[in-house]
Copies of this chain bind each other. A is one copy, B any other.
Amino acid sequence: MIKVGIIGATGYAGNELVRLLLQHREAQIIWYGSRSYIEKPYADVYRNMFQLVEEKCFDDNIEELANSADVIFTATPQGYCASMMNDNILSKTKIVDLSADFRIKDVKTYEAWYKIEHKSPQYLEEAVYGLCEINRDKIKNARLVANPGCYPTCSFLSVYPLIKEGVIDANTIIIDAKSGTSGAGRGAKVDNLFCEVNENIKAYGVGVHRHTPEIEEQFSYQAGFPVFINFTPHLVPMNRGILVTAYASLKKQRKEEELREIYQNYYKEEKFVRFLEQGICPETRWVEGSNFVDVNIKVDIRTNRVIMMGAMDNLVKGAAGQAIQNMNLMFGLKETEGLLQVPMFP
């Protein structure tokens, strides 16, 4: 049994880690970390866990936790994980960081977009970007995995085969993304009240959203040169789900079938990426509660652009599910262990 500690267990991503890990046959949660609810029974914070979790919340003592946990998930605000990281911890336990601290290799880029100082840049090189579909082998041997952001996961998997294959002009990529409200977290803010979100749609962080450089970095690796994109997230009145609608110009005219073959090739072995049948648009309802990303494309010959679409549950493949997928790889388990939930509809 893998002993798991969660720091930040009372956010939505933390609660989703708990939900999934309770159904994982090889893992056991030994620490429910939460600064806000110290000593409070976890099931009082999330009553879905009544009679399922008996433990109380503990303070965020990562040093102590490193002694007993085989792996620690940090589902914490930006800056926390970097500020706590040291050799002692990494020598005793593995870390899957759900924050952005170790996702971006260039510390200046991180600091410019996140507006905070990075407290342990010395680990950036070692940290593995935990997008299992592309870094599977590196993850297996990693001590420190940077779990990708929700938007970057969905954006990347929707787009990257066409970058990698040089089919699209990478600097024409525009990503228009839409997310459910759980992505905004459980903090008590007026902007996230029911009456403010319900019956509304809005763009936010236009031109300045922090997931932009993360996506660009990963796209750049695939392209082989620096890629700059437009990324516009929107808030949708639903609990879960991310939909990505991405646009790019084709370098030369292509038939949709050709591009479909590329995707089929890239994803034929991938359990969690479902490349849909021609003409079917991904929809968030079809992946809810599961670790699937549904992907499809449409070529518009009138404008010589391709529209690439992806749908995903932001709390599963976009956070807790992918973190567990990483854990499975790091511990030599079957990659799908604990992650085969059938999407729940409606």
Contacts and interface: CB of A to CB of B under 8 A. Distances in A.
A52 B202 CA distance: 21
Interface in A146-205: 171, 174, 176, 178, 180-182, 186, 188-190, 192-204
Contacts of A186: 190, 193, 195
A133 interface: no
Contact of A342 (B48, B232, B284): B48
A229 interface: yes
A26 B182 CA distance: 35
A52 B342 contact: yes
Contact of A22 (B199, B284, B342): B342
B344 A48 contact: yes
B202 A199 contact: no
Contact of A289 (B182, B189, B238, B289): B289
Q: In the complex, which range does the number of interface residues on chain A fall in?
A: 35 or more
Contacts of A196: 194, 285, 346
Given A194-B239, A202-B311, A203-B243, 13 more contacts: A15-B345, A23-B342, A46-B345, A48-B345, A49-B343, A50-B276, A176-B232, A180-B199, A198-B239, A203-B307, A206-B298, A232-B307, A236-B237
A15 B60 CA distance: 42
A47 interface: yes
B23 A340 contact: yes
A274 interface: yes
Interface in A302-346: 302-303, 305, 307, 309, 311, 340-346
